[in-house]
Structure 1
């Protein structure tokens, strides 16, 4: 008898054509999902499992023993964890946000007349309004056609807009100084995702996730976790080491088969690089942070289900409001963090994660335009650098800053087309 090995197991998923759940009927995997297509997913682990509450008999009998127990309704629960890489988890991010990845924005000299670049970290257009065109804080942009070759193909992150009609962009990294150029194209790199502002724009999505063990006898065993919703994530960004990601999942049922995989031809795993926090940028309160020793960022949508009589599955898996929070750990350099906590100062956070050090390395950029610290702890310990741990909550931005999206969190992924 063979024993399944984790290194040989495959995790794959596929999105249902419809995100709706029928309250008194499970989806038909053969027709509503289909065995073709799907996507193999990179992972460190998946803890998905089928669960049920046991209900042992409460009868008091002469034999003073329990003689019956029944299972309650079934549900799928767990999470999928991995090392964070661009593109890989785009579908799961989209499901947690209940939004839709927005297509890239593009402009040319026809929109802005000319572009002048300055090594002080600015790009200035001569006409037009880049915010009205659709560019936003946190977007990575790239030029083609500029006379200075070193400014072409660089992913500049927009940090702020200023000047007349928002024509002066503060960007990172700083460009090479170049006088006004009248022949160029500037394009947002990849796509962006925000939490929708209106109920009508929220999209329900559901997935099936498959654990396939090909090394078991008879063609292998699959466990297909059906009608699953994704309800949040946990991001880990250490000062040293790879960034991590975990997505929370809850579904309705699990199917099994022992004559091969359910998904017959899923797309192979993505081949993008893994993020670490060595390259890139972290801005807190509008300034680059050089002493951060770690950060976490979580979205919790509290997936829930309620049992219904006379059926063995939940009528629906409910997704609740998005609660975004996190923790910053940083070396003690002064009292700013304590003051921000005491005064309930609202600040911003922008982080760029890169897969390498090239000018156009794949990246994800996260913007939380409005966060508040809920604590700032600094116990005296050891003899080395003293560490401040500050927990924060992110809030929807409701201000009027130029090009700042009205959302709690925005993610841009440069690999999406």
Structure 2
């Protein structure tokens, strides 16, 4: 008899053609994980209310089947794009938007300390938006080329970036600015895409699998701690469709693929809030939840008819060293803020990255730590509840979204 070992298995997922169309064959993707509950089948116990004169109970029955799952992972390039897309209910845009002097009448550029200024035309018409990450190449000043640049403000002719550039007032008529990789935003009304997945959890020692059909990814949570990796917790809800596959029928998927990106480390990540790169964060987390629910119904089958989702809830928590009362003033004045996370691989510039941009929120609380006799800095904790995160409705240079994700990988 073989017993299953802790490490000798995997979970893999593949998007279905639609509800009830179990995915199979190749092209499933392994869910890289550090732990978590995994997939789970449960049933509600239905208790008999019969009163027996022997003082015993009549055995009850099983109720509806429920399925759900949760995985803990380390964020990596190309590892979780399908899950991000499913939770956002959107679709990744086309890869590598390239803009040259011939695009949208731009003709030429000059550079300031933090600006790229076009002589004519429009960056906005060319397709750029605040919160995008771009790379400049072909510029006459070599030091401005080949770097990830975060767009913090944008007009038709002036792009402002967080990074410091070398000033060059001579018009450059041969350049390329590329919005690297793909961008994912919340889609507009009537354009939300609901995706169902088949998820297999295979155990090599048993040569058997648990198979979950009609699973809907419902949430993800990104978190960071000092001297750590960026952690990503993901969860899904299913209709209850479940199969326990015997040897000979397992694995269900043919040769699922595993992404090869290195886990992203906090030391290569930067968090920017309120126009400032934060160098004093002690912890951070961001959660996105579309509130997946499989309802209880009276039915001839033990399954829910569907997984129902709600409005997208975005929330954040930040802890940091306390150096001033600016965040307190932002809280008092209800100042709208944005937050940009750029997590990069440890490689030569321009490094591969995952970028997450929250464009429009206000602070929900700012709480300082208690005074103490022990040595060490005083800290403060900022909370941003879902009620204070909203769609960015400024238009023009701003995406109409509550969240934007950009990845440097083209596929």
TM-score in terms of structure 2 length = 0.92
- Contact kept? 2:24, 2:253, Cα under 8 Å: no
Asked if the contact 2:27/2:257 (under 8 Å) is kept, the reply is no
**Among residues 271, 282, 285, which one is paired with 1:293 in the alignment?**
282
Bigger Cα displacement from structure 2, 315-324 vs 103-112:
103-112
Alignment match of 2:88 (pick from 74, 93, 97): 97
2:117 aligned residue (108, 111, 124) = 124
Once the two structures are TM-superposed, the CA of residue 316 in structure 1 deviates from its matched residue by 0.8
Q: Tell me how far apart the structure 1 counterparts of residues 119 and 59 of structure 2 sit (CA, whole Å).
A: 80
Query: 2: CA distance between counterparts of 1:303 and 1:80?
Result: 16
CA spacing shift, 1:62–1:28, aligned 2, 3 Å:
farther
Other-structure match for 2:13: 13
Residues 59 and 66 of structure 1 are in contact (CA less than 8 Å); yes or no, is this contact kept in structure 2? Answer: yes
Q: How does 1:160-179 map to 2 (within 5 A)?
A: 160-162=153-155, 165=156, 167-178=157-168, 179=170
Q: Distance in 2 between matches of 1:303 and 1:264?
A: 25
Q: Distance in 2 between matches of 1:359 and 1:159?
A: 20
Note the aligned Cα RMSD (angstroms).
1.8
Correspondence list, 1:24-43, <5 A: 27=20, 29=22, 33-43=23-33
CA drift at 1:402: 5.2
| C-alpha deviation, 1:231, in angstroms | 1.0
The 5 A counterparts of 1:150-299 are 150-162=143-155, 165=156, 167-178=157-168, 179-198=170-189, 200-216=190-206, 220-252=207-239, 253-260=241-248, 261-299=250-288
Deviation at residue 28 of structure 1 after TM alignment? 5.4
Question: 1: distance between equivalents of 2:49 and 2:5?
Answer: 41
Instruction: Using the TM superposition, give the Cα deviation of residue 243 of structure 1 relative to its aligned residue in structure 2, in angstroms.
Output: 0.8
Alignment of 1:389 onto 2:381? yes
Give, in angstroms, the shift of residue 370 of structure 1: 1.3
1:55 to 2:46 alignment: yes
The equivalences for 1:271-350 within 5 A come to 271-309=260-298, 310-350=300-340
Mapped partners of 1:339, 1:173: distance in 2: 26
For structure 1, the residue ranges without an aligned partner over 5 or more in a row are 22-26
How many Å apart are 1:95 and its aligned residue? 0.5
Answer yes or no: is the 8 Å Cα contact 2:209–2:252 preserved in 1.
no
Cα distance change on mapping 1:267 and 1:176 into 2, 3 Å: farther
Runs of 4+ in 1 over 3 A off after TM superposition: 147-152, 175-179
Q: For the residues of structure 2 that align with 1:101 and 1:176, how far apart are their CA atoms?
A: 33
Superposed CA offset, 1:305-344 (max 9, x none)? 1122222000010011101001010111111222222332
